[in-house]
Amino acid sequence: MTARAKFSLSRRLLAGLITVTFAYWVVVACLTVRDSVDEVYELFDVHLAQTALALLRVSDPDDTETATIPMRADTPSLLSVFGQWPNFLSDESRRLSGRSEAGTIHSLHTAYEKSIRYQVWNTNGALLASSANAPPAPLTLLDGYSQTTDSLGKVWRNFGVWDQHHDFRVLVSEDYALRGQLLRNITAHVASPLALGMPALVLLLWIAIGKGLNPLRVLTREIEARKPDNLTPLDAHNTPDEVQSMVEAINGLLVRMESTLESERRFTANAAHELRTPLAAIQAQLYVTRIAQTEPDRQFAMNQLQSGIERGIRLVGQLLTLARLDPDQSLPDAAPVDLGELAQSVCAELALLALQKNQHLELHVDPELPAVSGNADMLAMLLSNLVDNAIHYTQKGGSITIAVCKGDACLRMEVSDNGPGIPAEQREQMFARFSRLGAADQPGTGLGLAIAQRIAQLHEARITLNDGPQGQGITARVCIPAMLAVTA
């Protein structure tokens, strides 16, 4: 059996909460950045178009037609936007963000001038005006939005538009890196508070979890402070709902333990009381044997001493058997058992005792009985105790009948005799431990029926005491439910 690795419930909760919170933050940040990409690119495209239209109005004041700004092109993917993420703190980035290395505010106008260029062409293809950083060739041959790459590998976003008379064409181009840098700065501003707040969040979660688990620590201290003999139930009213079922289960265990210990205390007290009598008898017979004057007296005392020793041995054996059966246990080593063969074996074992009292021992077994699921040794002990009681309490020359047959929804084992019987009002109490009927010098110990009843309970069977045949004697009947029968 492999040992289960130890774990801390608080650490598991903390790890789970941090993982869920971090995942939530990542999802929110990704959605925010995605929306920011859409907004930033749309804003820059609109600004690019407005700049071109403004230059067109300056170039052709007579152009009174209201120009519409076309829809922007598709937004690039996040991977292309953040492809240069490790360089977002470069000198150019700091310059575009408006801060110099010394930390002073840098002129955004100067930075933006280097990132935008324009050209004004007439219909004859002559360059009328341009920015200082614009090349002599047209920025783009396409109207509307387009994208080009210069000789240095820099990507530019372009917008071209003609006036209504088709006399002037304005081209405006913007450095594509400006957009990506702005988005990376936005992402950094979004992620920074989350990253800086993570340690504080971990600390707060750890404190909250510790306070939330405090009732468990209180419960632990309460259990540790208890004395071994204190089995009173724990207070389940002041415990959280999540552990209340566990506390109730512990209380159930404490109640069962209290019941078991109380049963053991009663058993020990009764056993000590019952053992005192045979031991005292043995001591008395030993004394009589020592002071006997004649051989017949000595022989009689020796026989009594042997009888007392045998009774003591029998009592100790039955006490040990009852002690093994007493705890709440399940049926051990259940297997198919043939009750007919079991009854024959028990009768053969006890036949000598019946012959010594000149008793008639008879066995009846119905043919083709199904086997039952049970413990063969225990069932043999049950039947042996019933037959042994019948032999000891039936007079010499009496009759004892053992029957194994089918009953109503059960299989029955019956032991009947024509002895003195048991009054109906006393039959139920005969199953109590050390309960005996008749004179104290009878060889019984008062444990046979208690053992038989415990074995019957383990097999979900029922044992009862009824009137014997023709109303004489007693019949001990054991009914084993048919559901325990095993079909071939």
pLDDT on residue 388: 86
Residue whose tokens read 């504080």: 200
480 vs 5, residue with greater confidence? 480
Each residue of 23-61: pLDDT tens digit?
A: 888 888 888 877 777 788 888 888 888 888 888 888 766
Look at strands 168-175 and 116-122 and give their pairing. antiparallel
Q: Which of 159, 160, 154 is nearest to 180 (CA)?
A: 154
Around Cβ 127, how many Cβ atoms within 10 Å? 13
175 touches 156 (CB < 8 A): yes
Check whether 73 has a pLDDT greater than 60. no
pLDDT on residue 414: 93
| Helix 376-393 / helix 339-356 crossing angle, nearest 10 deg | 30
pLDDT on residue 399: 93
Q: Which of 364, 363, 365, 359 is nearest to 399 (CA)?
A: 359
> Which residues on adjacent β-strands are paired with residue 29?
none
| 448 burial type by CB count under 10 A (0-12 exposed, 13-18 middle, 19+ buried) | buried
107 vs 15, residue with greater confidence? 15
Tell me how far apart the alpha carbons of residues 153 and 174 are, in angstroms, rounded to a whole number: 14
pLDDT on residue 360: 92
Mean pLDDT of 11-32: 85
> Which residues on adjacent β-strands are paired with residue 364?
403
pLDDT on residue 92: 43
H or E segment and range at residue 249: helix 241-291
Q: List, edge to edge, every strand of the sheet that includes 155-162.
A: 127-130, 116-122, 168-175, 155-162, 144-149
Q: Of 161-170, 228-237, 295-304, 475-484, give the range with the top mean pLDDT.
A: 161-170
H or E segment and range at residue 412: strand 410-417
pLDDT on residue 445: 62
Average pLDDT, the chain: 78
Report residue 402's pLDDT band, with 50, 70 and 90 as the boundaries: very high
Mean pLDDT of 480-488: 64
Domains, the chain, ranges and CATH?
9-199 (no CATH), 229-328 (1.10.287), 335-486 (3.30.565.10)
Between the alpha carbon of residue 205 and those of residues 20, 23, 212, 309, the distances in Å are: 12, 16, 10, 73
State what percent of residues in the chain have pLDDT above 90.
Answer: 9
> One-letter amino acid identity for 481?
P
Each residue of 219-254: pLDDT tens digit?
A: 888 888 888 778 888 877 777 777 788 888 888 888
Q: At 444, phi and psi to the nearest 5?
A: -70, 165
pLDDT on residue 273: 58
Please list, in sequence order, all residues whose beta carbon lies within 8 angstroms of the beta carbon of residue 175, skipping any fewer than 6 positions away.
114, 115, 116, 154, 155, 156, 157
Q: At 255, phi and psi to the nearest 5?
A: -65, -45
Tell me how far apart the alpha carbons of residues 268 and 259 are, in angstroms, rounded to a whole number: 14
The tokens describing 436, both together, are: 């005996």
Measured torsion, CA atoms of residues 300, 301, 306, 311, in degrees rounded to the nearest 10: 100
Each residue of 336-385: pLDDT tens digit?
A: 889 999 999 888 888 888 888 899 999 999 988 888 888 888 888 889 88
Look at strands 360-365 and 399-407 and give their pairing. parallel
pLDDT on residue 134: 87
The tokens describing 127, both together, are: 């360059």
Check whether 6 has a pLDDT greater than 90. no
pLDDT on residue 400: 93
Angle 168-174-175 from CA coordinates, rounded to 5°: 150
Residue whose tokens read 């383990």: 458
Each residue of 205-223: pLDDT tens digit?
A: 888 888 888 888 888 888 8
pLDDT on residue 416: 93
Around Cβ 280, how many Cβ atoms within 10 Å? 11
Each residue of 296-349: pLDDT tens digit?
A: 888 888 887 887 787 778 767 767 766 666 555 666 678 888 999 999 988 888
Report residue 271's pLDDT band, with 50, 70 and 90 as the boundaries: low
Check whether 66 has a pLDDT greater than 70. no
Q: Of 63-72, 177-186, 202-211, give the range with the top mean pLDDT.
A: 202-211
What's the whole-model pTM score? Answer: 0.47
Report residue 440's pLDDT band, with 50, 70 and 90 as the boundaries: very low
Half-sphere CA count of 338, side-chain side, radius 13 A = 9
Q: 172-196: string of b/e by CB count within 10 Å (b at 16+)?
A: bbbbbbbbbbbbbbbbeeeeeeeee
pLDDT on residue 328: 56
Each residue of 107-137: pLDDT tens digit?
A: 445 656 678 888 999 888 899 888 888 888 9
